[in-house]
Every structure is written in C-alpha cells, then in structure tokens.
Chain A
C-alpha cells in the first residue's frame, strides 16, 4: 500500500516536471519567434523550432501517453514525428521566405515595393 502511494507520488512529480519542461519550451519558442522569426535568420532558427517541437512530442509520447513502458512503440512513433517535422523543416529551408516579400493584393510597381519594405520593417 505504501509502495503504491510512493509510486503514485513519484509518477506525479515526473509528470509535473515534464509539464514544466513543455511549458518552458513553448513559451521560450513563442517569445523567440517574435524576435528571431522577424529577422528570418534561416536554417538555424528553423532547426531550433523543429528540434523543440520534436523534443516536446517525445515528452508527450513518453510521459503523457505512457510509452516509456513500451520502448519499441515509443521509438516507432517518435521516428514518424521526426520524419514529419524533418520534411516540413527541410522544405522551409529549401524554399525560404524572401527577406522582402510582396504583400498580396498590393498594386504592382513602385507602390508594391514600398508596401513590402514597410511590411518588412514592421516585422
């Protein structure tokens, strides 16, 4: 009975620590997106976001979904997540956002260029 209570307590502590890690990662990324994302620093930034998302997925799979008890399944699901995030991230690296991009529905010619410069500065 005491063992059961002790095990429940340690499980609770692990879950709360994992939740804290998930929250910290999410908040840091969201704030960093406002700074780093606006400057569009490229592949490093994209790798950081994809890496953080992969790490968060692993915590959810391992701790929340309880796959720590099934290492084979954890490896399988995590591999799928990694491949998926990797493909999306690589496509963003291969097709990067231009530093200055035209605003949709903008007039063509000098006005469009001016709009895109204003938009780029506001970011």
Chain B
C-alpha cells in the first residue's frame, strides 16, 4: 500500500506520505488542526504588527493608554491560561494511559480556568469602558478591544472544542482538541507582553 512500481523498480513512499498528509503527518493530532493553528498565528501576527505600526505613529498616546490597563488582571489571566494549558496537556497524558475519567476531569479543570479567563477579561473590558476608554476613544483601545476581544472569542470556541473532545474522549480527539487550546495559550503569550508590558 502506498508503494509504486516503476520500470520494475519498487519506489518507497516519502516518510509521512502513506497517510496523505506529507510532512504534516509528523505533527501531533489532526494535521488540519495545524493548518488552522498556522492560520490563526498569521492573523494574530499581522494584528500585532499592525499594533506596532500604529504605536510607532504615537508612542506617547500608546504609553499613556497602556498605563490605564490593569496589569494585575492581565497577569491573572496569563496564569489562568497557562495553568489551563497544563491541565489540557495532562489530559492528553491521561487518555493515552487509558484513564478516561481522569482525562475528562482534567479537561473540565482546563475549561473552568478558561471561564475564569473570560470573567476577568469581561471585568477588564467593563472597567475600561466605565473609564471612558471604549473602542472608539483612542487607536490603542481600538486595537486592544479588537485583538483581545478576538482572542476571547477563540477562548469561547476553545471551550466548546474542549467540551466536545471530553465527550468523545479518544486519544486522537483529545490531542487535536487540546492543540487548539494550546494555540489560544500561545497567542496570549504573544499578545500579553505587546499590549501590557512593551512600552
């Protein structure tokens, strides 16, 4: 299967080509999830470059706006997502060891921390809006609400995916679902320093 015979010479398939995914077969989980992860990284990457470009036009305005962000809330959210990522990764280990209930519990814990992230983010948004910093007030806040809001939407989607793979609870489903969740982690690891720390 997957081998070709040409002029009497047997040709070995390239590594990974037997699954039809080529080099993507080496990646953990479903290769299509990695296509999605790469696309999401490209989208958020462009958004961050746009942020850098907008900041270059008004460093003072951006620094002043950045000082109004709640860095403690941002740090709590970073801790929540990174810990949630740990639980998701441990769920992978558990399901591979055949511990289905443990894997489901760990996914539930990961999801709970995802919900905490959304609650903190909602408080942050409410606080900024109450202070008069809405999406139209300044270029910094336009980008802040768009990028972090879009990321929060990914957290919501990630929670949905975690719930689905917890129900299916097979090694490949959990590996693929948690890959999306880790991508959400990864994006936050890039977004947090750009918006909250770099100035």
A69→B37 CA distance, assembly (Å): 17
Residues in chain A near residue B86, CB distance under 8 A: 15-16, 19, 64
Interface pair B28/A65, CB less than 8 Å apart: yes
B27 proximal to A (CB < 8 A): yes
Interface pair A88/B48, CB less than 8 Å apart: yes
Contact of A91 among B55, B96, B97 (CB under 8 A): B55
A56→B138 CA distance, assembly (Å): 30
The stretch from B111-119, B164-172, B191-199 touching chain A is B191-199
Chain B residues 55-82 with CB under 8 Å of chain A are: 55-56, 59-65, 67, 71-72, 74-75, 78-79, 82
Contact of B198 among A12, A15, A70, A89 (CB under 8 A): A89
Which residue of chain A lies nearest to B94 when distances are taken between CB atoms in the complex?
Answer: A8
B107 proximal to A (CB < 8 A): no
The stretch from B2-10, B123-131, B147-155, B180-188 touching chain A is B180-188
Which residue of chain A lies nearest to B24 when distances are taken between CB atoms in the complex?
Answer: A73
A34→B74 CA distance, assembly (Å): 13
A12-55: CB near B (< 8 Å → 1, else 0) gives: 10011001001100110110011001001000001001101100
B159 proximal to A (CB < 8 A): no
Which residue of chain A lies nearest to B92 when distances are taken between CB atoms in the complex?
Answer: A66
Interface pair A53/B190, CB less than 8 Å apart: yes
A69-105: CB near B (< 8 Å → 1, else 0) gives: 1101100010011001101110110111110011110
Interface pair A77/B71, CB less than 8 Å apart: no
Residues in chain B near residue A53, CB distance under 8 A: 189-190, 192-193
**Which one of A46, A52, A88, A119 has the highest number of Cβ atoms from chain B below 10 Å of its Cβ?**
A88
Residues in chain A near residue B83, CB distance under 8 A: 19, 23
Interface pair A69/B26, CB less than 8 Å apart: yes
Residues in chain B near residue A63, CB distance under 8 A: 89
B38-54: CB near A (< 8 Å → 1, else 0) gives: 10010001001101110
Besides A19-B82, A80-B45, A91-B55, 7 more A-B contacts (Cβ < 8 Å) are A8-B94, A12-B93, A15-B93, A29-B193, A30-B197, A49-B198, A53-B190
Q: Lowest 3 A-B CB distances belong to which pairs? A: A101-B60, A30-B75, A66-B28
22 contacts between A and B (CB under 8 A): A8-B93, A12-B90, A15-B86, A15-B90, A19-B83, A23-B83, A26-B82, A29-B197, A33-B196, A37-B199, A49-B197, A50-B198, A53-B190, A57-B189, A60-B186, A64-B86, A67-B28, A69-B28, A70-B28, A94-B56, A97-B199, A104-B64
